Amino acid sequence: MSDAIKHECGIALIRLRKPYQYYLDKYNTPLYAVHKLSVMMEKQVNRGQDGAGIANIKIDIPPGKRYISRYRSVEPQPLTDIFSKVHKKFRKGLKNNKDKANDAQWLQENLAFTGEVWLGHLRYGTHGTNEVENCHPMLRQSNWRSRNLVMAGNFNMTNVDDLFGKLVSLGQHPKEKVDTVTVMEKIGHFLDEENQRVFERFKGIYENPILSNVIEENIDLQRLLYRSCRDFDGGYAMCGMTGYGASFVIRDPAGIRPAFYYADDEVVVVASEKQAIKAAFNVEYGQIQEITPGSALIIDKYGEYNELPILPRLEKRSCSFERIYFSRGTDPDIYYERKQLGKLLIPQILKEINYDLEHTIFSYIPNTAETAFLGMIEGLEEYLSKKRKQAIMEGILFEEDLEKVLSFRPRIEKLVTKDVKSRTFITADEVRDDMVSSVYDTTFEVVRKNVDTVVIIDDSIVRGTTLEKSILTMLDRLNPKKIVVVSSAPQIRFPDCYGIDMSRMKDFVAFRAAMALIEERDMEHLREEVYTQCVTAIATKNPNNTNFVKALYDPFTDDEVSNKIAEIIRPQGLNAELAVIFQTVDNLHLACPQHTGDWYFTGNYPTEGGNKVVNKAYANHHEGKLVRAY
């Protein structure tokens, strides 16, 4: 994706199911879990580069010994920073105690990060400043072991104001009105209540300190999570660890955010992506299971696990952007789907270039679009194969004509190269244009000047600003006759509010195109009508039933919007003709049939909160407010 957006975070959880001594004896290192967690997080670094954090809990450590450890970092290489500190702590602790390196009891009582339950998080900040305090895991502390809570997640809530109000009504005084704090405090509140419920049940039967152990044995995490999460509206995969060693991962009822797990007799592990589990534990993909939407994977103090229902399931609407761009393309299912996205674009591309393959060069940008590009080329080869068969069946009189038909191949070139390791889409807006110009380079002398058409495929087009300000100008220096920009994703028309930082209407080039068409066709009344509907719904506190913003697109065909987008992103002074092609929603569902979350393309939100957000986003735009809608 050449445009700048931030998106879903990454989670990783490891529960060692054997005593700590087991891993020392079998793997001959006290760092078995550290190594595994570092691999899981490194394989998900695509999901978050603003910061990272890890936390660890030891089970049944004697009083007076620290049993919760945590490191967080917002350094330029946060994973390197965190894990180098962990290794340094081990080297320092064992420097004068080398004979204790295989003594589990001594290690757990004297060294941090020697516990059985591990939680890691990679952050892309969609809200709040990039400070270490905003990095997960978050910690809610208590002197009562069973009341301690450590949490990390991949989530956005659409109803933070409502959740904040509920906390206040419960008597709390939250320090911030952000979904991270609100979610943790809400779960923490019901963890306290669950502790109290069990305490009241057994207080006349047992005395402390035995009563503390009885409380831990009888806490009902399924009940706790239902009471905590029943008011949540959003997309989430949230991990929690309690101070006594039980842990959980809960997934939203529509399965918007991804979560997968694997278990054997040594470990239970959870990650946002299957590839992370595959890389760390070398298991078959078929052994990795998806956590059921609306359910929680609950792992008790003893390492026994079960997947339990928490909330009523909704129609599954897992995020299709995971398939198009965010998740690692080395997952075999995602790799195939991305190739299909490229292949399904062939009819539109052939029509746009007037079937003139001889004078067309195919390429891609950025590197993450390579798989869709391979699918596009595969589709071209299939098209050419059919044309060859047709030519032979119809009969070719001259040998040179037959040779030409049989030997013709699509022209493939690497026209744009990213020549430094830099993630331009997370660079600050004020310096991003200069950054793009410096990190991309073009390949000269392969395009026949004013003769060839260049077709270049991108994962998706959000704002169009990188194309307008940098890439199209670079391509134009090659002097092509025409440039065709192809998006493997459909037009992004509506805000996302479940994980991706796309909440302002003006940021979408498709929305800008619709506004331009409305103005050109003297349909200003439509803008006012939609605004009135949105503010009325918000004012009556009933904004959840209808996405009124859809009406702004209804008068126009997809091609009309695409053509207007081409006009908008066309840089001043561009010499080549310019066309823009977008994937169709129907083809998206053909390529990714199990992942139907398409609200940013269609406006069909999986929860009521999505309609509230889109209506508020348009009202903000109409009023000139440059703020988030949730």
Of the residues 253, 281, 316, which one is the last residue of a structural domain? Answer: 316
Instruction: For residues 339 and 296, state if they share a domain.
Output: no
Give the total number of structural domains in the chain: 2
Does some domain include residue 539?
no
Instruction: For residues 340 and 236, state if they share a domain.
Output: no
State the average pLDDT over residues 133-150.
93
Instruction: For residues 62 and 112, state if they share a domain.
Output: yes
Does some domain include residue 358?
yes
Residue 164 has pLDDT above 60, yes or no: yes
Does some domain include residue 379?
yes
Does some domain include residue 62?
yes
Instruction: For residues 374 and 433, state if they share a domain.
Output: yes
Does some domain include residue 289?
yes
State the average pLDDT over residues 223-244.
95
Instruction: For residues 274 and 349, state if they share a domain.
Output: no
Of the residues 277, 293, 316, which one is the last residue of a structural domain? Answer: 316
Q: What is the pLDDT of residue 390?
A: 83
Instruction: For residues 40 and 130, state if they share a domain.
Output: yes
Which H or E run includes 234?
strand 234-242
CATH number of the domain at 563, please: 3.40.50.2020
State the residue range of the domain holding 454.
Answer: 331-520+557-605
Instruction: For residues 411 and 472, state if they share a domain.
Output: yes
Residue 442 has pLDDT above 80, yes or no: no
Instruction: For residues 43 and 149, state if they share a domain.
Output: yes
Max Cα-Cα span within the chain: 101
How would residue 466 be classed by pLDDT, with cut points 50, 70 and 90? confident
Instruction: For residues 340 and 311, state if they share a domain.
Output: no
Distance of CA 220 to the CA centre of its chain: 31
State the average pLDDT over residues 364-373.
90
Residue 481: Cβ-neighbour burial (10 angstroms; 0-12, 13-18, 19+): middle
How far is residue 367's CA from residue 350's CA, in Å, rounded to a whole number?
A: 23
Does some domain include residue 541?
no
Question: Can you list the pairs that 221-227 forms with residues at least 24 positions away whose Cβ atoms lie under 8 Å?
Answer: 221/246, 221/248, 221/296, 221/298, 222/296, 222/298, 222/308, 222/310, 223/194, 224/187, 224/190, 224/191, 224/193, 224/194, 225/187, 225/250, 225/296, 225/298, 225/310, 226/310, 226/311, 227/190, 227/193
CATH number of the domain at 175, please: 3.60.20.10
Q: What is the pLDDT of residue 408?
A: 84
Identify the residue whose tokens are 């809610």.
140
Instruction: For residues 310 and 343, state if they share a domain.
Output: no
Does some domain include residue 454?
yes
Helices (H), 43-103: 78-94
Query: Side chain identity at 185, as an amino acid letter?
Result: E
Q: What is the pLDDT of residue 627?
A: 82
Q: What is the pLDDT of residue 420?
A: 47
Does some domain include residue 72?
yes
Helices (H), 12-54: 20-27, 32-42
Q: What is the pLDDT of residue 419?
A: 57
Q: What is the pLDDT of residue 421?
A: 46
Which H or E run includes 307?
strand 305-309
How would residue 542 be classed by pLDDT, with cut points 50, 70 and 90? low
Instruction: For residues 310 and 338, state if they share a domain.
Output: no
Does this model's pTM top 0.85? My answer is yes
pLDDT (tens digit per residue) in 254-290: 999 999 999 999 999 999 999 999 999 999 999 999 9
pLDDT (tens digit per residue) in 412-434: 988 877 654 444 444 444 444 55
Instruction: For residues 53 and 159, state if they share a domain.
Output: yes
